[in-house]
Structure 1
Amino acid sequence: MNAQREKLRMMLTSAIFAAIIGILAQVTIPLPLVPITGQTLAVGLAATILGSKYGALSALLYMLLGAVGVPVFSGMSGGMGIIVGPTGGFIVSFIISAFVIGWYIEATKATVTHAFIANVIGMFINLFMGTAWLKVAASLSWPEAFAAGFLPFLIGGVIKALLSAWLGIEIRKRLASARLLPYSSSKRTA
């Protein structure tokens, strides 16, 4: 029974993080093709705190909510048109990015340094996938796609990776000490 309760708690926590991703998506700095948003910060937090499985579940739930029309994407938008449009690759990549961030932290130690490295790796996954998708969806050349979907996000991405690492590890430690995270998610917390 304990394992079932723990699984339910983590699934509910994943749903809460999907909502957090949707809320931070509304924090935007508009750019011509792809806005700077708080989504990647929230995805990094979800993965750093919840680990690979539940961090990726949060990102998947977020994407599915938006795909069915709930206005959780940037600018209070939603629908499949966003997923298949120029910014869709960034959204789809959140799932892979969250999984990799969580996996890296689980495979090493839950320290700010390792979480920062994991979040930077996740940032590059997001930027590479999003830029490739942008190139195809917007019929851009590689240099145009790189200039619109990659370069403008590097500095902010590193800052968000640092924030995700620092805040994520602090929150993770507190949740683990309050026994709100399962032992397996927090056993490597240092």
Structure 2
Amino acid sequence: MIKTQNSLRRMVYAAMFGALTAIGSLIVIPLQPLPITLQTLFTGLAGVLLGGYTGALSQIVYVLLGVIGLPVFAGGKAGLGTLMGPTGGYLIGFIVAAYIIGKIVEVRKAPGFAWISLSLIVGNLVIYTLGVAQLSLVAHLSIPKALLAGVAPFLIGDLLKLVAATLIALKLRNKIQI
């Protein structure tokens, strides 16, 4: 019975953080070719608060919602074409980043501000790496140009989201029981 309750709790949290990531995609600062959204805030929180497996599952839920046609990607986009387009690497990066963030946080019994921040920095680097790789390939940009377009405009915003996610996680970590 306890294992069933744990599995159900994990599924509910995964669905909730998938939905939160979708909501975060609706808050958009339109820049080209990639908009700034709150998706990475919720991706990071999912990893920190839910752990590697459930955090990644939450982002799989989010990406699948978009792939099946719900307008949950940045700017209200949806469909497999978005996943295969210039921003698709970032979307796949959300899944991998949530997993890695969660695994880094799980190493410590009670991670502090610095450890959580480190995990989120590593997660952002994963998102940037996968995002820039696909942006470069799909948009036929050199890596330096893809970095200028797909990373540079977001650094300050991502730093602010990283601090916010760390502070939120420290407040909520004892309230979410996986």
Q: Quickly name the TM-score band, shorter chain normalised.
A: over 0.9
Structure 2 length-normalised TM: 0.96
Note the alpha carbon deviations across 1:131-156, whole angstroms, 9 max, x for none. 11100011111221111001111121
For this pair of structures, how many residues does the alignment match? 177
Q: Separation in 2 of the partners of 1:13 and 1:114?
A: 23
What's the counterpart of residue 100 of structure 2? 100
Identical aligned residues as a percent: 37
CA contact (8 A) 1:128 1:150 kept: no
What's the counterpart of residue 142 of structure 1? 143
CA contact (8 A) 1:49 1:168 kept: yes
Q: Offset at 1:169?
A: 2.2
Poorly superposed stretches of 4+, deviation over 3 Å: none
Structure 1 length-normalised TM: 0.90
Q: Offset at 1:160?
A: 1.0
Does residue 111 of structure 2 align to residue 110 of structure 1?
Answer: yes
Question: After superposition, where does 1:45-124 map in structure 2 within 5 Å?
Answer: 45-108=45-108, 109-124=110-125
Gap runs ≥5 in structure 2: none
What's the counterpart of residue 186 of structure 1? none
Q: Offset at 1:45?
A: 1.0
What's the counterpart of residue 14 of structure 1? 14
CA RMSD, 1 decimal: 1.0
Q: Separation in 1 of the partners of 2:97 and 2:158?
A: 13
Note the alpha carbon deviations across 1:61-90, whole angstroms, 9 max, x for none. 101110111111111111001000000000
